[in-house]
Structure 1
């Protein structure tokens, strides 16, 4: 489970037991959160709808496709392709020293650059890049997930540097529209009815912040990855994603984020005023991280400069996503995934219980917890 919902491993019984990931959010938790911040729960639903709308638009091998949506009286949710390799943070912690080698980093960094470039070409600022949101597909390639904090700005022109043809990507094979008995999962089934629908292809633009914008003033993200301009509140654009990439690369290289303090206030102070401590002899990777973590977004390295950087020397950007042997290829199931399907536990009851336990924890205790906090 995450901060905003519970993710179930499910089977699509209409396609020979194909595995999918179903993210489910409690309607009661949405209302409670809105009340806590003195806001309308309609804004939370707009985020959910925006996420589903952008998922429908994606035609990229490193981004998820919306496979189905769920709406009942008590929960809302959607399904995407299942990634058996779990997330990048999980994989990093399995390494001997909880750090990646340069070759691992180069491959994963290149795929993140391609995914972000594609998003920016659609006018989407991701705004929540962190290892926990970078999943590993069955073929070993990455997949970005969780777009509820993303926003829409005027599309960014594609890089003119040597790069793959990021748009359009070849369309996937046409899928069956019927998703009967869509959710049979290791925790619970929800019978197929009018509240469960296959994802339909749409041509409309996302409705969330669809006016022509060059900057956003909202304040979202995960605190250790937030860019300086977002903290300052002077407006931000696509450059925040390149800052986040710098934080992620630092974490992959050193095993820690570069600006973490003992509390949020100190973390933000470090982000605004302290340079990243890039221990070790100068290398192309450390130079790239330093340029990504430039505090002035106008001076921060651009996607064209990233793709032409020495760290990626020799990388054929058109062939990155075609590599047949990525550094790590997971099995169909990760060790921690369940392999025996349980059809007797109700999803709604399970989700309700999860958020009930969460509600019993006081906000003071939550603030003191040592870990990432979404803003």
Structure 2
């Protein structure tokens, strides 16, 4: 059993230290030594423990180190040098992070980012593969909003298998361009170090947030908010053929605007995806005759459905966190995309009830509960019928019958638990107000109000007689313009689904 222990790579445990003290050592090149850290929710193999105990990473970022790169590292740096121009295509290219990087690369002789451009502020965390620092671009004018997490991997201390995990994570990060997934701003290979410059999430992870709530659980609306954003992130990964395999609250980071960001992609595996597009006939409806007594026309409603799910993905590696492992993964007979949908059901359960559904007195008993024929049970709670129904359909032991394994997120979005969510606008929903969640709305991703469970009340308007007459005239004019519009106009069938209905005239 192998697990990622990098579940707190991108955020800082010490929120009281802002790292901006002019008298702190951060103003000079820093020299850090670290010890390994293992959480109680992860397995740590003896080889991993011994390698971490042997390694004491001492890293000093200065001009000398940034220019002494091996030929292999130089080739890798050339491969990833396109990141400096990738911001022109990235959906977050207007963020201060990209602006700071553009400033640094424009002043660089070779147009690339080097370690000498980075100023380390403090250590954020340590894991199974490396260490993570909070850093910023030197002499950046907007230091507060242009902070990064720098993941540093010492390749000399890792086995060949661990090195393959590092390359897997770097390759996957280079593919991502999504609001709820991290951005790889640069990869820097120097000597025997591999450095990945990625997003810094100041609000910690979802596991830490749960521990701050009464009963270690979230209100239904908050759980639905985070589950919906994680679902969209998984949908994007699966569309790329990436099976995540390490979904858990510790790997769901919270940005400063309160939205989620998945982390740690070293346990992922990639597979082929065959996207499909299908149109189904929903049923005929008859349009009401107009005032001119025109002949009524029959309208057929067609549902268009797009699915991109790695249904043929197969792997036999047993990796992950024990409380989130699926039965087919434990059997060792091979598993596919269903492991992510099983873990998604476990995640929703933990968000709502404060514990995982098959947790036992020990890790071994938890694994036995997962592998047995025991079905999921729920504590008594009111108003959880829809959530329980979704969880039951996700925690089906047979992956062939599990919700999501055939059509992925398309099936989940249609479930009643997510009713009312406007999926194209989800990134603009306001995050829930929770204890321990400090949301910086000024630097957010454009949250424009609204929530998955909230409906904005209509503002009362006071009318004068003249204003009322003008308003009624505008409404009447708009109504007649709709009646005379083209009948080929597309109408959205259901805001809870990622498909649309098209009305077609039939003679």
TM-score (norm 1): 0.68
Deviations, residues 210-236 of structure 1 (Å, cap 9, x unaligned): xx9631111111111111111111211
Whole-angstrom CA distance in 2 between matches of 1:142 and 1:279? 27
State the partner residue of 1:348: none
Correspondences of 1:210-221 after superposition (within 5 Å): 214-221=313-320
Indicate the SS of the match to 2:152: strand
Deviation at 1:253, TM superposition (A): 0.9
- Residue in structure 2 matching 1:285, options 362, 377, 387: 387
Deviations, residues 169-214 of structure 1 (Å, cap 9, x unaligned): xxxxxxxxxxxxxxxxxxxxxxxxxxxxxxxxxxxxxxxxxxx963
> Residues 226 and 311 (structure 1 numbering): CA distance in 2 closer, same or farther, change over 3 Å?
same
8 A contact 1:123–1:156 mirrored in 2:
no
State the partner residue of 1:330: 438
> Residues 61 and 268 (structure 1 numbering): CA distance in 2 closer, same or farther, change over 3 Å?
same
- Residue in structure 2 matching 1:4, options 116, 129, 154: 129
Q: Which has the higher contact order (CA 8 A, sep 6+)?
A: 1
Whole-angstrom CA distance in 1 between matches of 2:247 and 2:370? 16
- Residue in structure 1 matching 2:265, options 115, 126, 147: 147
Deviation at 1:152, TM superposition (A): 0.2
Deviations, residues 125-149 of structure 1 (Å, cap 9, x unaligned): 0000000100111221110010000
Correspondences of 1:11-160 after superposition (within 5 Å): 11-13=136-138, 15-16=140-141, 17=143, 18-30=146-158, 34=159, 41=160, 43-155=161-273, 157=275
> Residues 233 and 75 (structure 1 numbering): CA distance in 2 closer, same or farther, change over 3 Å?
same
Whole-angstrom CA distance in 1 between matches of 2:208 and 2:394? 24
Whole-angstrom CA distance in 1 between matches of 2:431 and 2:136? 26
Whole-angstrom CA distance in 1 between matches of 2:204 and 2:276? 30
8 A contact 2:254–2:260 mirrored in 1:
yes
Structure 2: any 5+ residue segments left out of the alignment?
A: 1-125, 280-302, 441-507
Whole-angstrom CA distance in 2 between matches of 1:137 and 1:241? 22
Whole-angstrom CA distance in 1 between matches of 2:277 and 2:250? 27
TM-score (norm 2): 0.51
Deviations, residues 138-169 of structure 1 (Å, cap 9, x unaligned): 221110010000000112637979999999xx
Whole-angstrom CA distance in 2 between matches of 1:290 and 1:25? 40
Deviation at 1:5, TM superposition (A): 2.8
State the partner residue of 1:276: 376
Number of aligned residue pairs: give it.
Answer: 278
Deviation at 1:291, TM superposition (A): 1.1
Correspondences of 1:302-317 after superposition (within 5 Å): 302=404, 303-317=409-423
Whole-angstrom CA distance in 2 between matches of 1:160 and 1:92? 40
Whole-angstrom CA distance in 1 between matches of 2:127 and 2:387? 31
Specify the structure having the higher radius of gyration (Cα). 2
Whole-angstrom CA distance in 1 between matches of 2:276 and 2:138? 39
Q: Which moved more, 1:298-307 or 1:256-265?
A: 256-265
State the partner residue of 2:44: none
8 A contact 2:277–2:307 mirrored in 1:
no
